[in-house]
Amino acid sequence: MLRLDNVTKVFRTGTFGGRTVTAVGGVSFDVRPGEVVSLIGESGSGKSTIGRMILGLTPVTSGSITMDGAPVRPGKDYYRAVQGVFQDPFSCYNPVFKADRVFALVKEGYFPRVPAAEWERRVEAAVRDVRLNPGEVLGKYPHQLSGGQLQRMLIARALLLDLKLLVADEITSMLDASTRIDVLNLLAELKTRGLGVLYVTHDLSLGTYLAERTVVLRGGAVVEMGPTDLVFGDPRHPYTRALLAAVPRLNAPWEDPAPVTSCLCHESGSAGGDGRAAAGRMAEAGPGHLVACARLADCPPA
140 and 177 inside one domain:
yes
299 and 209 inside one domain:
no
Tally the C-alpha atoms within 13 A of residue 141's C-alpha that lie toward its C-beta: 6
Would 292 be classed as within a structural domain?
yes
For residues 154-158, give the mean pLDDT. 88
Where residue 92 sits, what CATH number does that domain have? 3.40.50.300
For residues 82-102, give the mean pLDDT. 88
Return the axis-axis angle of helices 101-110 and 147-159, rounded to nearest 10°. Answer: 20
Output DSSP code: residue 224: E
273 and 178 inside one domain:
no
Cβ proximity of 131 and 186 under 8 Å: yes
Which residues, at least 6 apart from 77, have a Cβ–Cβ distance to it below 8 Å?
A: none
Rounded CA-CA distance 281/278 in Å is 5
Across all residues in the chain, what is the average pLDDT? 83
Q: How many CB atoms lie within 10 A of CB 228?
A: 19
For residues 246-259, give the mean pLDDT. 66
pLDDT band at 257; cut points 50, 70, 90: low
118 and 240 inside one domain:
no
pLDDT in tens, 170-201: 877 767 777 777 777 888 888 888 889 999 98
Whole-structure pTM over 0.85, yes or no?
no
279 and 172 inside one domain:
no
Domain holding 91, by residue range, is 35-50+73-214
Long-range contacts, 239-244 (Cβ 8 Å, 24+)? 239/294, 240/216, 243/40, 243/42, 243/204, 243/216, 244/204
91 and 207 inside one domain:
yes
pLDDT at 92: 85
3-state secondary structure labels for all residues of 238-249 = HHHHHHHHCCCC
Would 88 be classed as within a structural domain?
yes
264 and 117 inside one domain:
no
204 and 301 inside one domain:
no
188 and 43 inside one domain:
yes
Would 12 be classed as within a structural domain?
no
Q: For the CA atoms of 105, 107, 109, 114, what is the dihedral angle to 10 degrees?
A: -160
281 and 169 inside one domain:
no
pLDDT band at 149; cut points 50, 70, 90: confident
Rounded CA-CA distance 217/259 in Å is 20
For residues 24-52, give the mean pLDDT. 91
Domain count, the chain: 2
